[in-house]
Amino acid sequence: MEPRNSNFEKGGNVVDSITDVKGIKVGHAQDLVAATGCTVVICEKGAVAGADVRGGAPGTRETDLLKPQNLVEKIHAIYLSGGSAFGLDGASGVMHYLEERGIGFDTGVAKVPIVSGAVIFDLNIGNPKKRPDLDMGYEACLNATDKNDAMGNVGAGAGATVGKFLGDKFSMKGGLGTASIKAGELIVGAIVVVNCLGDVVDPDTGRIIAGALSKDKTCFADTMKLIKNGAAGGGGLGRNTTIGVVATNAGLSKAGANKVASMAHNGLARTIRPVHTMYDGDTIFCMATGEVDGDISIVGSLAAEVAAIAVVRAVKSAESLAGIPAYRDLFDNPNYFLR
């Protein structure tokens, strides 16, 4: 597990995760043989939410209702999943779980749970016929806790890969990461599923830590260098997307939550090169529980910072799967070139 690097004092109920925001629960379900899974971020009392879709190939659910001009003010869960568009089916399990507990938008005749979501493409590894479904979405909810710091090959990160500009054969394992930051009484947390076309860079060093490998697999190919030299890319161009959620205890309007989601994308830009391409469906949601006062600029700046930390942790926590090497294989093994 990636060593922690948080602003929190250790001890108590702090786990350095998005669940450090009071009222937020996270649950995962996955099938590592099929190399797919899903993650749910639940706020049973409801959270003001926004979303920002930057990638050119998104797979999403219930993002229009998060626009400030639309009716519903709060959502109850965000569903992140593998399985490409097929994986959206798992949100029905989240709906079922919340409805059983009387959680939802009261229409007068039924309480309708408001569940937004986004998916990644992970059909290229494992079993492409096995995708997250209603049962897996429900299972993720059953597994949800308010102290969840699991990372790597869990939930929606189970089948995630990165660095696919030269095709899947030269890619590395991605995964799921989470982190949190506290500034006074303000808390901002993030959970990110890293499945990008580009390379993942440690923003503190500028060094690639996971990405496209060279044709002889003796070094990183450096995707941006390939692009600058006129390379056209390989067969993995349509198999990407980084998705995530930032949560805060700040009080935000829907417009404010949308702005924070937008600013959080800066964390992806600091750690993924290139990002927001036509072959990625990059999407970030924001959930605000309204426990403390919060300035949008401060919350958004912290959201970008914590999203960047979560991206780095995702790849550093991942393990090799289906023959795809992970950060740990390359940096921790003395027989590999990256030592």
Q: Which residue has the tokens 């205890």?
A: 249
How are beta strands 105-106 and 115-119 bridged, if at all? Answer: unpaired
- Cα of 22 vs its chain's centroid, Å: 19
pLDDT, the chain, mean: 92
Alpha carbon distance 28, 148 (integer Å): 9
Give the pLDDT score at 122: 95
In tens, the pLDDT along 238-294 reads: 789 999 999 999 999 999 999 999 999 999 999 999 999 998 999 999 999 999 998
pLDDT bracket for residue 216 (50, 70, 90)? confident
Is the pTM higher than 0.85? The answer reads yes
Domain ranges of the chain: 18-332
Class of domain 18-332: alpha beta
Question: Minimal CA–CA distance to 149: which of 280, 17, 25, 44?
Answer: 17
In tens, the pLDDT along 156-208 reads: 999 999 999 999 999 999 999 999 999 999 999 999 999 999 999 999 999 99
Give the pLDDT score at 221: 94
Give the pLDDT score at 239: 83
| Percent residues over pLDDT 90 in the chain | 85
CA 314, 317, 322 angle in degrees (round to 5)? 95
Alpha carbon distance 173, 131 (integer Å): 18
pLDDT bracket for residue 234 (50, 70, 90)? low
